[in-house]
Amino acid sequence: MLRLPPFRYVAARTPREAARVLADHGPDAMAVAGGTDLYPNMKRRQFTPKVLVGLRGLEGASGIAANGTLTLGALATLSEVAGQRAIVARWPALARAASLVASPLHRNVATIGGNLCVDTRCTYYNQTEFWRASIGYCMKRDGDVCLVAPGSDKCWAVSSSDTAPVMLALDAEVTLVGVEGDRRVPVKALYGSDGIHYLTKRPEEILTEIRLPDRTGWRMTYRKLRRRGSIDFPVLGVAAAARLGQGNLVEDARIVLGAVHVAPVPASEAEDFLRGKVLDRETIEAAAGIAYQPAKPLDNTDLSYAWRKRMARIEVARALREIAGLPTGDLP
Ligand SMILES: Cc1cc2nc3c(=O)[nH]c(=O)nc-3n(C[C@H](O)[C@H](O)[C@H](O)COP(=O)(O)OP(=O)(O)OC[C@H]3O[C@@H](n4cnc5c(N)ncnc54)[C@H](O)[C@@H]3O)c2cc1C
Ligand code: SF4
């Protein structure tokens, strides 16, 4: 049995207090929300914080308000996000992504803020301490070399959040609370370019709120590829959204790929290609052929990376067909 390492638990009452405790303890402290990712990682000794700052009791960080825009408290659970009627009706890609994370038990505890901040993953890293010691560790924890790309000076662990690509596709913004003050940043700016420092926020900053703009008139979807339909991290996620005019003319479009790089990857060239075109079969195939190109899967997750790259093209096409109201070609 894997046991948690010893730690002191500090239940913060406000985001500022949480940030202050984190700042005071530096690298010895971490925040925990639902704990569905952090606790298993601690059991494997990927993290051994001496102090855990519990966020569950934070004032005013768990509500959901859907007016024109959508405001999510970072502590709202994924079950709440997936089941909220207004989200299902008006931001359905987000509801679907949340509903596909892990298992129902996880989703009842896991938070939307934790999902956006979830650690990057790699076959050589998401292993027990014993396993990692036997191969001499790797750069992400306790070692010097990247075992996937030994010549690389950076870590390529994979961004594995299901909701992050959707948040990028829908132009969400997050509020970060630090010791000195608060700031609001686009979700796109939250992610870095390295699997170790995968978030750009300061370590003590607490994500308290996520805001999504009104997407009335947009159609959207999220598609997820994984080995087991019942419970598995994505090996590919595709978030797509489009505002269509008369005759399915694309007025605006967003496509973001998940689980193919250290951060969610916007397929900007495909978005540009789609604008002003009719979303028919031919356009969709051409757009998918452009959209999958920035996907950079490596041999560090489940299933073959060459197949995952090919599937990115197929899943983008399926997502766009869903949006156009055409048959997706999914097996029944
Ligand atoms: C078996 C299994 C399957 C899983 N499958 C999936 C999956 O399919 N898709 C997927 O996306 N995830 C999956 N996960 C990972 C995890 O369950 C989810 O990502 C979940 O949403 C994490 O939320 P949490 O509240 O539990 O985060 P925690 O575990 O509490 O925290 C995760 C990280 O985020 C930080 N953090 C949390 N909240 C905040 C905040 N408000 N401000 C600043 N930092 C914060 C923590 O310090 C920690 O580094 C799986 C996990 C397991 C164990
Ligand atoms: S990508 Fe390389 S450095 Fe990063 S976790 Fe995997 S093996 Fe380690």
Say whether pLDDT at 331 is over 70.
no
Cα-to-centroid distance, 280 and ligand 1 (Å) = 38
Cα-to-centroid distance, 109 and ligand 1 (Å) = 10
User: Rounded to 5 degrees, what angle do the CA atoms 196, 158, 44 make?
Assistant: 65
CB of residue 231 inside a 6 A radius of ligand 1: yes
Query: Is the whole-model pTM more than 0.85?
Result: yes
What is the structure's pLDDT at 332? 60
**Residue 145 region by backbone torsions, left for phi larger than 0, else alpha for psi between -120 and 50, else beta:** beta
Phi, psi of 61 (to 5 degrees): -120, 20
Mean pLDDT of 17-25: 98
**Which protein residue's CA is at the shortest distance from atom 1 of ligand 2?**
156
What is the structure's pLDDT at 87? 98
- pLDDT-derived band of residue 1, with 50, 70 and 90 as boundaries? confident
CB 13 within 8 A of CB 172: no
DSSP state string for 169-216: HTT-EEEEE-SS-EEEEEGGGGB-SSSSS-B-S-TT-EEEEEEE---T
Mean confidence (pLDDT) of the chain? 96
Cα–Cα distance for residue pair 214/228, rounded to 1 Å: 33
CB of residue 158 inside a 6 A radius of ligand 2: no
Say whether pLDDT at 21 is over 90.
yes
Ligand 1 mutation target, pool 44, 101, 191, 198, most atoms within 8 A of CB:
101
For residue 180, give the amino acid letter: E
Produce one character per residue of 98-119: b if its CB has 16 or more CB atoms within 10 Å, e if not.
bbbbbeeebbebbbbbbbbbbb
Cα-to-centroid distance, 151 and ligand 2 (Å) = 12
Say whether pLDDT at 139 is over 80.
yes
Ligand 1 mutation target, pool 9, 14, 30, 37, most atoms within 8 A of CB:
37
Mean pLDDT of 284-288: 97
pLDDT in tens, 74-104: 999 999 999 999 999 999 999 999 999 999 9
Cα-to-centroid distance, 89 and ligand 1 (Å) = 25
Residue in 271, 263, 305, 306 with CA at minimum distance from that of residue 288: 271
CB of residue 237 inside a 6 A radius of ligand 1: no
Using DSSP, how many helices (H) and how many strands (E) does the chain show? Answer: 12, 12
Say whether pLDDT at 71 is over 80.
yes
pLDDT in tens, 109-122: 999 999 999 999 99
**Which protein residue's CA is at the shortest distance from atom 2 of ligand 2?**
146
Q: Which atom of ligand 2 is nearest to the CA of 152?
A: 2
CB 260 within 8 A of CB 225: no
pLDDT in tens, 35-63: 999 999 999 999 999 999 999 999 889 99
What is the structure's pLDDT at 18? 98
CB 116 within 8 A of CB 167: yes
pLDDT in tens, 217-276: 999 999 999 999 889 999 999 999 999 999 999 999 999 999 999 999 999 999 999 999
Cα-to-centroid distance, 47 and ligand 2 (Å) = 15
- pLDDT-derived band of residue 323, with 50, 70 and 90 as boundaries? very high
Cα–Cα distance for residue pair 208/54, rounded to 1 Å: 13
Cα–Cα distance for residue pair 65/84, rounded to 1 Å: 10
What is the structure's pLDDT at 79? 98
